[in-house]
């Protein structure tokens, strides 16, 4: 997918998908945190099915029961909270979270819990907005009653599928501090200039330039 405003930009979900493909191998035991009703966006459903079939085992966990029930690709799904994950210690090679970290209300405890279920040399891979990005800054200026409607217009997500955000692990400094405090080593941290979603709203399109 290419932007009409900035043709060289790519949607950040594609970067995340490519990172997933590097880590999801036939020997990997994997859990998706906040799996919702999909791992990848709906238009990447074929790629998601391929990823799920590639690994040794995959589990999904989410607190929102309707989303969990609607998830089509992960068969082993559990309702639960990131603060107290229903898995034994050192159970997984890979923990992933796609647009979930921004919703963490106590990231220090939640990163610690994620670290607990990872095997030695396991990987926590996540995709989340940058708190200094224009999208996050703009969202803080938008009234709560309007956010759901804007997200539906820009991303096609229904209002009931929009959850509170805290942005407590959404800067480079925050991520590095949380990693250091909870026994993680930061192997890679990419700040990505993503695709121009505001092209749909011409008055805001200049923000993408």
Which residue from 169, 139, 200, 154 is spatially nearest to 41, judged by alpha carbons? Answer: 154
Structure tokens at 156: 């096609």
Which residue from 33, 42, 21, 206 is spatially nearest to 113, judged by alpha carbons? Answer: 33
Please check the confidence at residue 207 and state whether its pLDDT lies above 60: no
CATH of domain 12-195: 3.40.50.150
Residue 135 or residue 12, greater confidence: 12
Read off the pLDDT of residues 67-77 as tens digits, 9 standing for 90 and up: 999 999 999 99
Mean pLDDT of 167-173: 94
Please check the confidence at residue 37 and state whether its pLDDT lies above 70: yes
Please check the confidence at residue 204 and state whether its pLDDT lies above 60: no
The predicted pLDDT at position 4 comes to 44
Residue 143 or residue 178, greater confidence: 178
Read off the pLDDT of residues 83-140 as tens digits, 9 standing for 90 and up: 999 999 999 999 999 999 999 999 999 999 999 999 999 999 999 999 887 677 777 7
Contact 108, 181 (CB under 8 A): yes
For the chain, the average pLDDT equals: 85
The predicted pLDDT at position 125 comes to 98
Q: CA torsion, points 41, 45, 50, 53, in degrees to nearest 10? A: 90
The predicted pLDDT at position 165 comes to 85
The DSSP bridge partners found for residue 48 are none
Coil vs helix vs strand at 33 = strand
Please check the confidence at residue 166 and state whether its pLDDT lies above 90: no
Start-end of H helices in the chain = 12-23, 45-54, 65-70, 107-117, 134-141, 144-155, 172-181
The predicted pLDDT at position 159 comes to 53
How confident is residue 36, by pLDDT bands cut at 50, 70 and 90? Answer: very high
The predicted pLDDT at position 192 comes to 77
The predicted pLDDT at position 147 comes to 66
Mean pLDDT of 28-42: 96
Say what percent of the chain tops pLDDT 90.
67
Whether the pTM exceeds 0.75: the reply is yes
């Amino acid at each position: 997918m290419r932007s009409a405003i900035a043709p060289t930009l790519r949607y950040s979900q594609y970067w995340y998908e490519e990172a997933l493909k590097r880590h999801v191998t036939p020997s990997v035991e994997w859990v998706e945190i906040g799996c919702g009703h999909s791992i990848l966006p709906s238009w990447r459903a074929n790629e998601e099915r391929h990823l799920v079939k590639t690994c040794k085992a995959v589990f999904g966990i989410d607190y929102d029961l309707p989303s969990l029930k609607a998830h089509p690709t992960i068969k082993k799904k559990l309702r639960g909270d990131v603060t107290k994950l229903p898995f034994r210690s050192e159970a997984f090679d890979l923990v992933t979270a796609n647009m979930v970290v921004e919703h963490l209300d106590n990231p220090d405890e939640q990163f610690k819990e994620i670290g607990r279920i990872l095997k030695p040399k396991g990987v926590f891979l996540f995709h989340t907005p940058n708190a200094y990005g224009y999208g996050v800054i703009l969202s803080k200026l938008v009234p709560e009653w309007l956010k759901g409607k804007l997200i539906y217009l820009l991303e096609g997500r229904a209002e009931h599928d929009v959850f509170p955000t805290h942005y407590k692990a959404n800067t480079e400094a925050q991520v590095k501090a949380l990693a250091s405090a909870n026994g993680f080593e930061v192997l890679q941290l990419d700040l990505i200039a993503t695709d121009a979603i505001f092209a749909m709203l011409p008055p805001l399109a200049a923000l993408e330039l």
